[in-house]
Amino acid sequence: MDLLLILTYAALCIAIFKIFKIPLNKWTVPTAVLGGIILIGTLILLMNYNHPHSNLGGQFFVTTPIVPGVRGKVIEVPVTPNSQIKKGDILFKIDPTPYQAEVQLQRAALAEAKQYVLGLESAYHAARATTSRALAERDRTLTQYRRYEKGFKRGAFTKSDVDNRRQFYRSAEAALTAARAEEQRAKLAYESEILGENTTTAKVRAQLVQAEFNLQETIAYAPTDGIVTQVTLRPGMMAVPVPLRPVMTFIHKEEQFFIGAFRQNSLLRLKPGFKADFIFRALPGQTFQGEVVEVLPAIGESQVQAAGMLYGSDLLLRQGRPLVKLKITDDLSQYHLPQGANVEIAVYSDRFEHVSVMRKVLIRMKSWQNYLFLDH
């Protein structure tokens, strides 16, 4: 662009010198040269500051590593790579045999625990019956003891007979106390199960829930709409639930945003809503329109974390660039560009708008330059 401006200015000066027949001397020539330097330099500086440009740009997208929830052998991979899939579509299946067996085992254990509840109910009723018999026996022995005690006063029974009846009564009273305690124990055990608090049944039910969850985890589903690419998972491979060993990568289908790294000098000229031009290395000679979405509020190079060491002045040597989030408003669907394509970005602020023509010309010239490269 600077060369174009110099040539234009030179042509204009030659025309003025010819038309007005200005003599070439030590005053006119230096004046023309100095004027050109000042004029062109001012225009370029105004353009650089008010309409910033960055060749460090690209599209970013979110991926999710798919890690199996359970360990097992892969039996099916029905997903089609590089094609759009919906949320809930099956990605792959793991052999469910051992997990189905565990579910059946826990269901049998739960049925056994429920039978145990019926046993608790029977034990409770038996304890109540035992208490009733003990109560009747206590009342019978008490009646006999009182009858013998009255008869002893009249001389009908001996003191030994009265003592025997007293012992029978005390024995029956103790048996009644034991029966009531057993009834209370059986009642608590039975009622705790009815209220869902029996530890045995609760434990088995929790194990059944875990077994059913593991069985469901033998099928991996798409977390959202998106695609999977570079699928190397095959039936017969062993899938292991290790965080560092995902079996495939899921790419989410979201609105496409681009990130550009700009100089900190131009931060005051990077505001949401400002128009922008994008050029792709993959699409020489074409320019696309867009706008600024936001300036990200933090610069990664300056982050610090709690650690057992002191930070030194070398931290200040990492001068990072602020990241700007942008979006393209033109339709790119016909070009089928892969996600992550690199771009160069020019942003046009609301200051010195007439100078933006220079940036627009320059960004289009750089777009045509993408035809020129040597790889040999």
The model carries a pTM of 0.69
Same domain, 239 and 353: no
Same domain, 32 and 90: no
On whether residue 68 sits in a domain, the answer given is yes
Expressed as residue numbers, the domain containing 36 is 1-50
Model pLDDT, residue 1: 54
Same domain, 225 and 193: no
Average pLDDT over residues 227-232: 92
Question: Which pair of structure tokens corresponds to residue 241?
Answer: 């639930």
Q: What's the CATH code of the domain at 89?
A: 2.40.50.100
At residue 78, what are phi and psi to the nearest 5 degrees? -80, -10
What is the secondary structure of 144-189 as a DSSP string?
HHHHHHHHHHHTSS-HHHHHHHHHHHHHHHHHHHHHHHHHHHHHHH
On whether residue 208 sits in a domain, the answer given is yes
Same domain, 240 and 266: no
In this structure, the dihedral spanned by the alpha carbons of residues 335, 336, 340 and 342, taken in order and rounded to 10 degrees, is -20
Same domain, 132 and 196: yes
With cut-offs at 50, 70 and 90, classify the pLDDT of residue 17.
low
The total number of structural domains in the chain stands at: 4
Cα angle value 101/103/108 (rounded, 5°): 95
Same domain, 177 and 264: no
Q: pLDDT: is 118 or 292 the higher one?
A: 292
Average pLDDT over residues 158-183: 81
Same domain, 200 and 260: no
Same domain, 80 and 179: no
Same domain, 235 and 337: no
pLDDT score of 12 more than 70:
yes
Same domain, 347 and 207: no
Same domain, 278 and 334: yes
Same domain, 178 and 36: no
Q: What's the CATH code of the domain at 365?
A: 2.40.30.170
pLDDT score of 159 more than 80:
no
Q: How many CB atoms lie within 10 A of CB 31?
A: 13
